[in-house]
A and B are shown apart, each in its own frame.
Chain A
């Protein structure tokens, strides 16, 4: 079984780090995983994509993900039809936004059944870290909405990645996002 996650963020938001933490968590949990960014313009503010592939076997393509099971959007300004390109029927869309799942579905023109999870990661990041770096908060939402990796493994890795006080602040960000994520299954318009 394989789960492909595509991350959409802006340079500086930590999409690549988040993609790696999820892969590392899967590896610690005994699965095979790859995490890699869409290489190139690593500039603050520029749109970036990152990929995580999790699998039971090492037979995993090293290609950009075109048909993700999960799409994670770290910046609401990136919400367009393109964001959900190739997102599988029955997949999940995790978004950092103050909007509701229904509003998100409308903006991206959702035309298939998808679990949409929203969390106000900016607010959580500001309150816990004091900076709008949303990658750890969005991890909480991802774990809550998909269970793709365990919360405890994720927290352990966040603690390792960010040492000391920063680690604890990030752990708090994950936890609060985990608790405040709002999830709706959005059905295609004709069946809704």
Chain B
């Protein structure tokens, strides 16, 4: 796609401003000219919605804010709004995402092109307001496109990319943009925001093609008997496949227009690495800063940052894995009673088998309920990944638990 000369000018460095990831997401919603926001407050997501409400009150965003009594209603209203052709947004975390679970499937099943941000948080019981990935991991088979982002800037950019992908008529799937609660949601950092015209030129509103319209009646969500249900669910399988290419294209075009792109996965210090650590969101950001220390001690470990999780960027991950002897997968959720108790580790194990890769896998569960992890802990994980080149570690390691 040709980029106009004026658009190219935007690539010039703009002045970043200090924003938290929650605020950055609210800014993205404003700059995308979202029409309908329906959300229910939950820590640590609350300030996303507060900031959006502020934009609406100040006249900076003309949108309908639907006050609902639960997350179940929040997502229901968001889905319905999207199906009328509106650009719709919601945000949640933790128990809120769990309460939405039923509607998660309905959103993808109805092909509602919505974007939702998730400030990832642990699940009750016991109550924890702190961060891990249990909420999003429980939503991984709901037919949503899922991104994990590692900075406030990336959150802003990915919400914008999200609408371009979701509203593409070849995709029509809801998009989740997930980031670490507190560790990112409440951290202030530099963010460059773009003007609305440029954002809308990149992600023009392409409303739902079969929208609810009294002038042109359609039926959505009808009963599908056994002769029909399977095909309609299989459509999501195919849409996910197409979403992979669309996500790549969306990121590249974003890079051309705004000067920032991320890739679907990011391989950091992978050249000459003999081992990889797989991590997402804030852990990936931390590893980037810590890994150089590992290399100083001869521990040549790279980082495979999972940015797009669904659809899974299989080729890119396999390519990275094929060049190392071991991979350590950090899971921030527990798959109770599973062969590996980390959900990601199970997927990597399948991937290694499927592609006949000679890679030793180490499954590590860490940071559950935001159990403290300091730089030295990440260094220890790097050493563990390195050791695993020659020593097999068949069982999931519950890093940092008191035993």
Contact = CB atoms under 8 A, between A and B. Distances in A.
Q: Is B truly associated with A?
A: yes
Contacts of A37: 186
A63 B187 contact: no
Nearest to A32: B190
Interface of B: 16-18, 44, 129-130, 151, 180, 182-184, 186-190, 282, 285-286, 288-290, 370, 372-376, 378
A27 B375 contact: no
A23 B18 contact: yes
Nearest to B282: A62
Interface string A36-77: 110110000000000000000011111110100000000000
B304 to A, nearest CB: 17
28 contacts: A20-B188, A23-B18, A28-B18, A32-B189, A32-B190, A33-B18, A33-B189, A34-B188, A34-B189, A35-B18, A35-B188, A36-B188, A37-B186, A39-B129, A39-B130, A39-B183, A39-B186, A59-B288, A60-B289, A61-B286, A61-B290, A62-B184, A62-B282, A63-B373, A63-B375, A64-B372, A64-B374, A66-B375
Contacts of A33: 18, 188-190
Top 3 A-B residue pairs of the complex, sorted by shortest distance between their CB atoms: A36-B187, A24-B18, A61-B286
Interface of B: prevailing SS: mixed
Interface-central residue, A20, A27, A32, A62, by most chain B CB under 10 Å: A62
Contacts of B374: 63-64, 66
Contacts of B151: 58
Contact of A27 (B16, B182, B183, B186): B16
B289 A61 contact: yes
Nearest to B188: A35
Contacts of A60: 285, 289
A20 B190 CA distance: 11
Given A64-B374, A66-B374, A27 B187 contact: no
A20 B17 CA distance: 12
Contacts of B286: 61-63
